[in-house]
A = this chain, B = another copy of it.
């Protein structure tokens, strides 16, 4: 049994989230050109907006008190299906030096249980077509690859 602890992200996790998102694997190594980036107004404002949105939840996964993963769960309220709620996962990351230990699966199982506890009828996510190993991972968890994911950069 792993000791993964999952808790809501705090403002002082911004640098950690950035590191995990870019894939850096050493806590002390900043992943953006500007070492002050995490303190910048852009990130602070982004955190403010997320904090005010009760349907946008950011989590940090810790192992022995050290942040090793993060994920964002958006609760999407719909009308169809008697007001079906979907839980959408974005930005699911595990620190590179902690992969292959089942932590990603554990984090996903936690996310699925969380979605159920909120009354969601579906969990959904998209994964880059370049990542077949991630696709097998999601399929092992019971996800069905039923849709094409389209993105338009603005």
Interface residues of A (CB under 8 A from B): 14, 17-18, 21-22, 37, 40, 42-43, 45-47, 49-50, 53-56, 58, 72, 74, 76-80, 82-83, 86, 88, 90-91, 112, 115-116, 120-129, 135, 138-139, 141-154
Tell which of B76, B135, B141, B150 touches A145, judged by Cβ atoms closer than 8 Å. B150
Contact, CB under 8 Å: A43 / B121:
no
Tell which of B18, B90, B129 touches A76, judged by Cβ atoms closer than 8 Å. B90
Which residues on B sit within 8 Å (CB–CB) of A144? 150-152
Contact, CB under 8 Å: A83 / B149:
no
- Chain B residue at minimum C-beta to C-beta distance from A113: B154
Contact, CB under 8 Å: A152 / B112:
yes
